[in-house]
């Protein structure tokens, strides 16, 4: 009898509703932030490529001088 009353308690539905709300919210947040993570990774690789090019040109300048 106690379990049946617990299942029918309105507090339990509030907990379910909050759980579902958080699940949806954080799932959407993960989907929305994925493209920005890719952009950050892309800009980091561009930054690394630029640094490598600068170092290469510095080596060329030091050899020619």
Domain boundaries in the chain?
2-64
Our measurement of the distance from residue 40's CA atom to the centroid of its chain's CA atoms, rounded to an integer in Å, reads: 11
What is the biggest distance separating any 2 CA atoms in the chain, rounded to whole angstroms? 91
Separation of alpha carbons 4 and 8, rounded Å = 6
| Model pLDDT, residue 47 | 73
Whether 19 shows a pLDDT value over 90: the answer reads yes
CA angle, residues 56, 62, 65, in degrees to nearest 5: 140
Over residues 41-58, the pLDDT tens digits come to 556 677 777 777 777 777
Separation of alpha carbons 49 and 54, rounded Å = 9
Contact assessment for residue 6 and residue 12, using Cβ atoms and an 8 Å cutoff: yes
Mean of the per-residue pLDDT values of the chain: 76
């Amino acid at each position: 009898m106690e379990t049946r009353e617990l299942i029918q308690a309105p507090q339990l539905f509030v907990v379910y509703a909050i759980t579902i709300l958080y699940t949806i919210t954080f799932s959407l947040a993960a989907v929305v932030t994925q493209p920005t993570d890719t952009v950050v990774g892309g800009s980091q690789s561009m930054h690394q490529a630029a640094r490598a090019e600068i170092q290469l040109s510095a080596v060329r300048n030091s050899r020619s001088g």
